[in-house]
């Protein structure tokens, strides 16, 4: 676990996202939950030994940020209203408990027993929701929860002014491959500007090491590189199927490697990115024409 502010910590090396916590005078506030059951249970034990966990705030609906919620059944979960609406759909997309158990036997055998622990619900969606923003006051800390669409539609940023830190979820991938499989690229670029305007010293990205504001430009450039590439396909009338017949070298648009041992997803991810951006550009053109 890494100290990233006076009273805040992030775990950078778990399999999954960078789950984080702020230790306030009135207990812990968590940002996202550890993906692997054993990591989630260890985290919970570490915190509960010191103080109660007041809130668990999710930044997005992907499994690497929400699957571990199951192991915090008594904690108030906070999330965007659209995250609440799609939560169970994304949990279901992660596979059945049977499928998870088979995967876990190979990937993380220590976690197998935790999959069918009767105390843990499979799905633990947000109960406290918001639309534009929500401010919580916990102990002496202000927790500003902001809707920053981009990587996903309910994408959420958590800004803690007293700590000088912002938790961006996957609107920032620091020096590891950016996932654009369902993003709104234009909203994403706007959200990066909004993050840049915050008074912060440290950014905790969804994945990768903590970074500073200087990296935001690079992140925006990666989104723009992909957008430019698909824009050119649209101009030339090339469909995603035609473009994807030949292998696309993702490193031409994003210099960073796929982290988290996810290399096997390289080609699939590029396909999803091209299809998503192509559809969004076409939809935009159509909306402009009508
Ligand atoms: Zn993620």
Mean pLDDT, rounded, of the chain:
95
Token pair recorded at residue 221? 């450039």
Using DSSP's 3-state secondary structure scheme, residue 257 falls into: coil
176: CB partners within 8 A, 6+ apart: 207, 208, 256, 257, 258, 259, 260
CA of 93 to the centre of ligand 1 (A): 15
The pLDDT tens digits for 235-257 are 999 999 999 998 899 999 999 98
How far apart CA 137 and CA 173 sit, in angstroms, is 28
The CA distance from 195 to 280, in Å, is: 23
Q: How far is the CA of 181 from the centre of ligand 1 (A)?
A: 12
Euclidean distance between CA atoms 57 and 156, whole angstroms:
9
Domain-wise residue ranges, the chain: 2-219
CATH class, 2-219 region:
alpha beta
Query: From the CA of 132, how far away is ligand 1's center (Å)?
Result: 21
Q: What is the pTM of this model?
A: 0.96
Cβ-proximal residues to 284 (8 Å cutoff; 6+ apart), any chain: none
Each residue's pLDDT tens digit, 163-197 = 999 999 999 999 999 999 999 999 999 999 999 99
Query: Separation of 172 CA from ligand 1 center, angstroms?
Result: 9
Cα-to-centroid distance, 60 and ligand 1 (Å): 8
């Amino acid at each position: 676990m890494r100290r990233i502010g006076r009273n805040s910590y992030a775990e950078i090396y778990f399999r999954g996202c960078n789950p984080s916590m702020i230790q306030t005078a009135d207990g812990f506030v968590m940002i996202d939950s550890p993906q692997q059951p054993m990591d989630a249970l260890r985290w919970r034990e570490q915190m509960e030994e010191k103080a109660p966990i007041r809130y668990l705030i999710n930044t997005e609906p992907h499994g690497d940020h929400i699957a571990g919620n199951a192991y915090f059944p008594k904690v108030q979960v906070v999330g965007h209203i659209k995250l609440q609406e799609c939560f169970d759909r994304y949990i279901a997309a992660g596979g059945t408990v049977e499928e998870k158990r088979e995967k876990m036997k190979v990937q993380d055998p220590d976690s197998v027993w935790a999959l069918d622990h009767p105390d843990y619900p499979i799905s633990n969606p947000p109960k406290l929701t918001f639309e534009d923003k929500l401010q919580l006051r916990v102990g002496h800390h202000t927790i500003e929860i902001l809707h920053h669409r981009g990587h996903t539609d309910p994408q959420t940023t958590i800004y803690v002014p007293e700590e000088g830190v912002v938790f961006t979820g996957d609107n920032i991938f620091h020096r590891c491959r950016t996932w654009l499989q369902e993003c709104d690229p234009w909203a994403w670029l706007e959200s990066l500007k909004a993050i840049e305007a915050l008074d912060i010293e440290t950014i905790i990205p969804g994945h990768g090491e903590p970074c500073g504001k200087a990296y935001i430009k690079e992140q925006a450039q990666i989104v723009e590189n992909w957008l430019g590439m698909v824009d050119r396909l649209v101009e030339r009338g090339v469909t995603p199927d035609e473009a994807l017949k030949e292998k696309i070298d993702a490193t031409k648009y994003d210099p960073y490697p796929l982290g988290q041992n996810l290399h096997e997803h390289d080609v699939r991810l590029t396909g999803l990115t091209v299809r998503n951006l192509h559809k969004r550009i076409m939809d935009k053109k159509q909306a402009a024409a009508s």
